[in-house]
């Protein structure tokens, strides 16, 4: 069954906006994060689900995924496929160094009223030109420019999110971590592809290129389906923006950081909500 990219994108965005403790979360799972040589492939699963890395709810769309090669240029996906619960795709690792694979999204969402009627910016609902009466969903417009001049109670939020995995061939590099100076980003002290279960991981988080203190970060080991408790760590970055993480066991981990402020780039928005998500592999010593 092939799902509409719009429907998949809506489900994925809902997962991004949901709190880490809520039901459905968006994740990418690589078949491996380290390779020897430049003639190998990595296969990535992509889904939205409750139990991390166990697809049971909705697929992510491969159309939303970008590949960055170690020199910062764009790579490509191969063999994309979307099933009922997950999508999969391959990436040919043909250059040495660290690759970044994932999704980036920047959007403005919100609500407003027109003649007392509820309207929405973004999301699903009846289109602006709809004439059908009734219905539980609000009408919606696609862009800020589409908001009518007579709109009232305008409440807009800028949403920025990223969800990544990192794959290294031969020696790790850091070009793909070069900060853009926009939104919530990571400047790793511990390289994501060199994590060991008996060594503390350290990651510096940035907001608009500056160390971000007080960022809330959730760290969850995979395979929750086979545990009674999720064993999530709820952590906070220090004054220097650095997060310190201890790994209870080896395996795949889901890291989700979130922050908000009142510095959106869209003038009509009043709030900015940012998230950074990554799946990392922690090996045994």
- pLDDT, one tens digit per residue, over 231-260 is 999 999 999 999 999 999 999 999 999 999
Among 109-113, 133-137, 276-280, the range scoring the smallest mean pLDDT is: 133-137
Mean of pLDDT values over 97-109: 96
Residues of the chain with CATH 2.60.40.1930: 5-106+159-283
pTM greater than 0.75 (yes/no)? yes
Is the pLDDT reported for residue 10 higher than 60?
Answer: no
Q: How confident is the model at residue 228 (pLDDT cuts 50, 70, 90)?
A: confident
Which CATH number applies to 5-106+159-283: 3.30.230.70, 3.40.1280.10, 2.60.40.1930, 3.40.50.970? 2.60.40.1930
Which residues, in sequence order, are bridge partners of residue 278? Answer: 164, 255
* pLDDT at 98 exceeding the cut of 90: yes
pLDDT of residue 123: 61
């Amino acid at each position: 069954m092939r799902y509409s990219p719009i429907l998949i994108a809506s489900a994925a965005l809902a997962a991004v906006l949901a709190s880490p403790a809520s039901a459905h979360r968006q994740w990418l799972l690589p078949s491996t994060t380290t390779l020897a040589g430049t003639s190998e492939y990595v296969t990535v699963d992509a889904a939205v689900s409750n139990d991390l890395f166990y697809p049971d709810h909705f697929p992510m769309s491969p159309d939303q995924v970008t590949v960055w090669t170690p020199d910062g240029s764009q790579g490509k996906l191969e063999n994309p496929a979307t099933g009922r619960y997950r999508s999969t795709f391959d990436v040919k690792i043909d250059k040495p160094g660290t690759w970044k694979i994932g999704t980036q999204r920047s959007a403005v969402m919100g609500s407003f009223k027109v003649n007392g009627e509820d309207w929405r910016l973004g999301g699903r609902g009846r289109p602006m030109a709809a004439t059908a009466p009734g219905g539980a969903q609000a009408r919606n417009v696609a862009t800020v420019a589409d908001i009518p001049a007579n709109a009232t109670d305008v409440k807009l939020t800028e949403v920025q999110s990223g969800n990544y995995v990192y794959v290294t061939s031969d020696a790790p590099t850091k070009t793909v971590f070069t900060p853009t100076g926009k939104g919530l980003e990571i400047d790793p002290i511990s390289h994501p592809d060199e994590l060991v279960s008996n060594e503390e991981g350290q990651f510096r988080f940035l907001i608009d290129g500056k160390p971000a203190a007080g960022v809330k970060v959730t760290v969850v080991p995979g395979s929750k389906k086979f545990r009674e408790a999720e064993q999530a760590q709820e952590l906070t970055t220090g004054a220097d923006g650095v997060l310190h993480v201890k790994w209870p066991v080896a395996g795949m981990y889901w890291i989700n950081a979130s922050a908000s402020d009142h510095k959106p780039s869209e003038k009509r928005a009043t709030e900015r909500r940012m998230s950074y998500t990554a799946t990392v592999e922690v090996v045994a010593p």
